[in-house]
């Protein structure tokens, strides 16, 4: 009988040969594909060759753009959420409210950007991706299924309804809108943190008072917009959930900026000014 050392050497050598054969096979396939893609063209086929090369180049760039959110979902979340909220407010001020670039309230833009980075970028990511994944065990499998498979998955459909309920009737009235009012008041309010004219307690009390006055209007408007959208958002693959959510949310942020971007009091025109020394 052969010793254990001889058996181990023979097994390792056979695996080594299998890897080498696999490398040779892949090299031959790549060489063959290179020959086919670079075969000589006639005078009438030059434009077709150029079109094919451009098509391959565009396809590579498209693949890289789609691969980034898969490889770096959290970074994508922060970038998209911050750019989305600030860009939507600039768009509304510039083209809906008709302001010139010198008239734009950059404090208001900063309030939207800070709200997007902190709440939409950090808090929502922690809740909607790792938080939901810990509680809803069927979420990953349901999101990666086809539409026909989703319809045959009652547990996944039940969890989908639970996720929508939490987003619409818990997160929206108790966290999203109250924090938006607090961020807006902290930056653009008559008493704000940037000027050092208000304390945290005063700002929170004023912001929540304004939210209470608009409670039903804000929540019914947001519910009518987001209820059908959430059915789609919570059904796509996990890696695409937050980017798709932000794409739809860009439209909602424009609506929010138009409805609640300006302060209802006399401090709505407050802009970046140099504080007197």
- Determine the Cα–Cα distance for residues 156 and 140; give it in Å rounded to an integer: 9
- Determine the Cα–Cα distance for residues 212 and 103; give it in Å rounded to an integer: 30
pLDDT at 17 over 90: no
How crowded is residue 199: how many other Cβ atoms within 10 Å of its Cβ? 11
Per residue in 262-277, pLDDT tens?
876 544 444 444 444 3
Work out the average pLDDT over 129-154.
83
pLDDT at 253 over 60: yes
Q: Is 223 exposed, middle or buried (0-12, 13-18, 19+ CB in 10 A)?
A: middle
> For a pLDDT cut of 90, what percent of the chain falls above it?
34
Among 7-16, 112-121, 250-259, the range scoring the smallest mean pLDDT is 7-16
CB 265 within 8 A of CB 190: yes
The domain spans of the chain are: 1-39, 41-71, 73-263
Mean of per-residue pLDDT scores for the chain: 78
Q: What share of the chain is helix, strand, coil (3-state, %, to 5)?
A: 80, 0, 20
Output the pLDDT for position 94: 93
What is the model's pTM? Answer: 0.69
Tokens at residue 263, please? 């302060």
């Amino acid at each position: 009988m052969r010793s254990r050392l001889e058996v181990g050497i023979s097994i390792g050598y056979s695996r080594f040969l299998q890897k080498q054969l696999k490398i040779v096979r892949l090299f031959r396939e790549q060489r063959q594909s290179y020959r086919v893609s670079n075969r000589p063209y006639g005078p009438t086929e030059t434009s077709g060759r150029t079109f094919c090369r451009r098509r391959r180049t565009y396809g590579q760039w498209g693949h890289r753009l789609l691969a980034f959110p898969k490889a770096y979902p959290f970074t994508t979340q922060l970038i998209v959420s911050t750019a989305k909220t600030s860009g939507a407010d600039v768009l509304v001020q510039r083209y809906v409210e008709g302001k010139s670039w010198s008239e734009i309230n950059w404090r208001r833009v900063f309030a939207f950007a800070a709200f997007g980075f902190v709440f939409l970028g950090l808090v929502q990511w922690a809740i909607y991706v790792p938080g939901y994944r810990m509680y809803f065990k069927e979420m990953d499998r349901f999101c990666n299924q086809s539409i026909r498979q989703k319809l045959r998955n009652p547990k996944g459909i039940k969890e989908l309804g639970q996720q929508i309920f939490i987003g619409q009737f818990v997160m929206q009235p108790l966290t999203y809108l109250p924090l938006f009012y607090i961020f807006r008041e902290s930056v653009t309010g008559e008493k704000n943190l940037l000027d050092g004219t208000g304390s945290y307690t005063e700002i929170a009390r004023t912001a929540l008072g304004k939210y209470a006055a608009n409670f039903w209007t804000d929540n019914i408007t947001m519910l009518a917009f987001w209820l059908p959208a959430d059915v789609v958002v919570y059904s796509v693959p996990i890696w695409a959930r937050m980017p798709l959510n932000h794409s739809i949310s860009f439209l909602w942020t424009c609506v929010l900026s138009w409805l609640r971007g300006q302060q209802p009091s006399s401090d709505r025109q407050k802009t970046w000014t140099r504080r007197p020394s």
